[in-house]
Amino acid sequence: MNDNKKQINVGLIGIGTVGGGTWTVLKRNAEEITRRAGRPIKITHVADKNLDLANKVVGNDATITDDAFALIKNPDIQIIVELVGGVGIAKNIVLQAIENGKHVVTANKALLAKFGEEIFAAAHKKGVMVAFEAAVAGGIPIIKALREGLTANRIEWAAGIINGTTNFILSEMRDKGLTFADVLKEAQRLGYAEADPTFDIEGVDAAHKATLMAAIAFGIPVQFDKAYIEGITKLESADIAYAEQLGYRIKLLGIVRRQQDGVELRVHPTLIPEKRLLANVEGAMNAVLVKGDAVGLTLYYGKGAGAEPTASAVIADIVDVARLCDSEIAERVPHLAFQPDALSTNLPILPMGEVLTGNYLRIRVEDKAGALAKITAILAEQDISIDALLQKEALSKGETDLIILTHICKEKAVLAAIEKLEKLETTKGKVQRIRREELL
């Protein structure tokens, strides 16, 4: 090891769950981490509004303050670790740290998904690194895999279970036949879901992460505002059960897929064949399946949240920065995997109507002659081909559920068909539609 290399000083902002994990793991594994980094790495300063908590975690082993900006101004600190979260004060912290020539490590997916363009441009201009492994799928090194491990490939698509809260809810609904509302309460009781779990259950958190994956997979700008987002709040236990009867599981997936003239960027509940490994990712675990033209399918699985799993990713970034901070900018891995002047200008995010998926349709129908014929005629009109069909025994009131799986078709064709299906005299209520992916 080169003993001449000076210690890297880190300023840690936010000593909550992930900050506390980062402190603990860096301390516990200091010797091994130093051997890997080629120089000692020390959190010399910690900033948090909650000074009692900071004192409890850190004690006398670092300088503690409630002023985050004191760390950013400190000339002895080379790396700022931002674990505040959100897009308020965290944005100022990151931009000012960059402006002051600090390298930044962050787990803040919302911030990078919304303001990534501004932040990466500022970092490029200043010649500093912004590392964000912990922002997508917590402890799973998916950023490293997409950006470096798969760099030979033309990435075709990636599909991931990238929100643990919703995966826990869907797993429990399937296992125990519980309703969404019941499981959500349980998820909150267990501490998986936030007190305000909106970002989780409405798919926003997964969309932040998918947005970052799309940028580094395809070499396109970060464009959260163009993501299609649909959460799990409208899923019913009946659909989970019907999907199972057809050999499928329902997962909330973040999907990024390259089409010839654009990129699909979407988050929604998805039927996937139960045979796929991804379908068997249960509870709060995360997993991302990536298809590259050379490597084929690769799967990354692990804990997407929690103190030490997320700290694992934060510290990996700190070590990367410690190794590369003395190097020329051109020798570093670009923030978004592709050189900033080589981002694609001809791969727009496609409007949702152009997206291609299979579909699950559940139609409550009057159980009488001709009902099915009218439905198949509407699907044929839109050039939608049926892959499988399940008719349940008649429910009371002379009604029954028809479940149809369609082959792949355009979103706009399905929407047009649903509008017509809902107008049929024999259709009762809304058509339940869930997209379906074979993931091959």
- Interface stretch with ligand HSE, choices 30-38, 49-57, 143-151, 162-170 (CB under 6 A): 162-170
By CB atoms closer than 10 A (0-12, 13-18, 19+), residue 88 is exposed
Question: Residue 163 interacts with ligand HSE (CB under 6 A)?
Answer: yes
- Interface stretch with ligand HSE, choices 157-165, 240-248, 376-384, 421-429 (CB under 6 A): 157-165
Return d(Cα 346, Cα 179) in angstroms, integer: 44
- Interface stretch with ligand HSE, choices 22-30, 91-99, 158-166, 229-237 (CB under 6 A): 158-166
- Interface stretch with ligand HSE, choices 121-129, 159-167, 345-353, 420-428 (CB under 6 A): 159-167
Return d(Cα 236, Cα 244) in angstroms, integer: 13
DSSP state of 259: E
Cα dihedral 70/72/74/78 (nearest 10): 150
Mask: binding to ligand HSE, 286-325, rule CB under 6 A, as x and -? ------------------xx--------------------
Question: Residue 165 interacts with ligand HSE (CB under 6 A)?
Answer: yes
CB of 310 to ligand HSE, least distance (A): 7
CB of 147 to ligand HSE, least distance (A): 19
Nearer to ligand HSE, 8 or 137 (CB): 137
| Of 152, 107, 101, residue with least CA distance to 127 | 101
Question: Residue 164 interacts with ligand HSE (CB under 6 A)?
Answer: yes
Return d(Cα 264, Cα 143) in angstroms, integer: 19
Question: Residue 138 interacts with ligand HSE (CB under 6 A)?
Answer: yes
Question: Residue 106 interacts with ligand HSE (CB under 6 A)?
Answer: no
How many residues form the binding site for ligand HSE (CB under 6 A)? 8
Nearer to ligand HSE, 305 or 371 (CB): 305
Q: How many CA atoms lie within 13 A of 178 on its CB side?
A: 16
Return d(Cα 98, Cα 291) in angstroms, integer: 34
Q: Of the listed 209, 251, 291, 303, which one is catalytic? A: 209
- The two three-digit tokens of residue 89, written as one number: 């004060």
**Residues 147, 337: contact at Cβ < 8 Å?**
yes
Q: State whether residue 47 is helix, strand or coil.
A: strand
CB of 215 to ligand HSE, least distance (A): 17
Mask: binding to ligand HSE, 173-202, rule CB under 6 A, as x and -? ---------------------------x--
- The two three-digit tokens of residue 431, written as one number: 């058509």
- The correct pick among 48, 82, 133, 205 for binding ligand HSE (CB under 6 A) is 205
Q: How many CA atoms lie within 13 A of 288 on its CB side?
A: 29
Nearer to ligand HSE, 137 or 409 (CB): 137
Return d(Cα 398, Cα 364) in angstroms, integer: 11
Q: State whether residue 87 is helix, strand or coil.
A: coil
Nearer to ligand HSE, 304 or 334 (CB): 304
**Residues 106, 89: contact at Cβ < 8 Å?**
no
- The two three-digit tokens of residue 312, written as one number: 């694992």
**Residues 321, 129: contact at Cβ < 8 Å?**
yes
Q: State whether residue 35 is helix, strand or coil.
A: helix
Nearer to ligand HSE, 139 or 262 (CB): 139
Active-site residue, 209 included: yes
Nearer to ligand HSE, 79 or 204 (CB): 204
**Residue numbers annotated as active site:** 209
Q: Which residues of the shown chain bind ligand HSE in the complex (CB under 6 A)?
A: 138, 163-165, 200, 205, 304-305
